[in-house]
Amino acid sequence: MPPMAALVRALLVVAALLALPPGSRSGDAGNLHPVVLVPGYASNQLEAMLTAAYEPSAPACAVSAAAEQGWFQLWPNHTAMHDASQVPCFADQMSVVYDAGADDYRNTDGVATRVPFFGSPRALIGWDPLVRQLEAMGYREGATLFAAPYDFRYAVAPPGHPSAVGDRYFRDLGRLIRRATRLNQGRPPVVVAHSFGCALTYQFLLARPLPWRRRYVRHVVLLGSALGGFAAAGMDFGLPNVARPTMVRLARSEQSALWRLPTPLVFGDRPLAVAGTATYTARNVSAFLEAIGFAEAVRPYVTRVLPMWEELPAPMVPVTSVIGIGVRTPETYVFGADGLRGEPAVVYGDGDGDINLVSLVAVEEWSQVEGQDLKVLRLPGVHHTGYITVDFAVKSVIAEIAEAGRTIESTGNLAFEQKCTDH
């Protein structure tokens, strides 16, 4: 083809692709870039099975243990939420244990767990509006649409620290991404992550060699990412509702809990909790953990969590960051003179209701990084759960996914166009 004709053809293709509204591509399923969804915290099911080693902590649990044959749904567990006698059983079975000798987290003795429907969007909780829109665009489960649910009680750890559950998840996620690519003639997927899923996806990418990322990840769409943690996370540990010790114990036991704490890199000297004359910032989380009676978390926090968040290198694959702004978000908890107890006054700031603005915008420093493609979309008034549920937010997210997929088709053409005009 003569260069001029090729250029005209390329431009026409680009123009045609840009002109198409997302919905009209549904007939074009053969050319879709697959999508892999990575949900947020507690946004997929967990199943459990009690084994002979299970020791009921309360008589009510013995009953349920005897009644349970095989796998049952541990999360979400509506029985436990409504039947007070089941709360301790649920909390026990859901808790994880940090084994200081092994330097890793594991399930409570006698409780086996698994994540059902790995690979399928059916595994997800709360994603229906977004998934339905993707299906309307032509995405099909198992062919072009995938999901990577996980055991959200766990996380991963830096090199040198074992993290059996998280490491297995990263292997499974890597396999799923490669499978999605293979099933789509080598077109790598757009990975769409929400909330805690963003932090996992980010660490997953960093743990893969750059050529792997470039080969297998076309684009990452982050929804409400908190790569600097968030202020309300500390309150998950049972403050201010210290009245429910079982749930506090459960919340504190999780490996993922320490991961969500505000990081020094992003939060710096911002006050997170004030108690009398003591001010706690992200720089003295260890002192905070000790002050709330959670000293056993200090070692795993310092050795396993902090090192992963000391810097935020750009992932060097194209990223779109969608954030909600202008929603009242807890920023500082102000306690009375007698320390971190009682009901604190909450000082609010900007964010998406859960994640503070400073953490939502942490990825924006990547715009300074040469070779890092970054687009930021701000959605005023959209709450942390709204990205995947609120109509106008879902539409915006869908448009970003469509564009991320489209970039691939047009990249070659645009590059070609550039070359020709350079001549």
Ligand X SMILES: *[C@@H]1O[C@H](CO)[C@@H](O)[C@H](O)[C@H]1NC(C)=O
Q: Which residues bind ligand X (CB under 6 A)?
A: 64, 68, 72-73, 77-80, 86, 89-90, 93, 269, 278-281, 283-284, 287
Residue 254: how many CB atoms within 10 A of its CB?
A: 22
Q: Catalytic site residue 352? A: yes
Residue 166: name the closest of 212, 200, 213 by CA: 200
Q: Give the nearer residue to ligand X in terms of CB position, either 38 or 80.
A: 80
* 37: CB partners within 8 A, 6+ apart: 121, 124, 127, 130, 131, 145, 146, 147, 148, 192, 193, 194
Minimum gap (Å) between residue 105 Cβ and ligand X: 20
Nearer to ligand X, 45 or 195 (CB): 45
Active-site hit among 33, 194, 383, 384? 384
95 versus 410: smaller Cβ distance to ligand X: 95
Rg (CA), the chain: 23
- C-alpha span between 102 and 66 (Å, rounded): 31
Is 109 catalytic? The answer is no
Nearest distance, CB of residue 275 and ligand X, angstroms? 9
Q: Which of 416, 410, 411 is nearest to 3 (CA)?
A: 416
Q: Is 85 a catalytic residue?
A: no
Give the separation between CA 199 and CA 351, rounded to whole angstroms.
Answer: 17
Minimum separation from the CB atom of position 274 to ligand X (A): 10
Number of H helices, E strands in the chain: 15, 15
- Shortest Cβ 70–ligand X spacing (Å): 11
Residue number, 261 or 390, with CB nearest to ligand X:
261
Q: Measure the CA–CA gap between 296 and 314, rounded to whole angstroms.
A: 33
Set 95, 352, 354, 410: catalytic member: 352
Active-site residue, selected from the candidate residues 195, 253, 256, 359 = 195
Give the residue carrying structure tokens 């026409």. Answer: 12
Can you name the residues that pair with 356 across neighbouring β-strands?
351
CB of 80 or CB of 261, closer to ligand X: 80
- Least CB distance from residue 267 to ligand X, whole Å? 9
Per-residue H/E/C for 162-187: CCHHHHHHHHHHHHHHHHHHHCCCCC
190: its two tokens: 């757009």
8-state DSSP, 263: P
Q: Identify which of residues 269 and 310 has a Cβ nearer to ligand X in the complex.
A: 269
The minimum distance between CB 346 and ligand X, in angstroms, equals 19
Task: Tell me which residues are annotated as active site.
Answer: 195, 352, 384
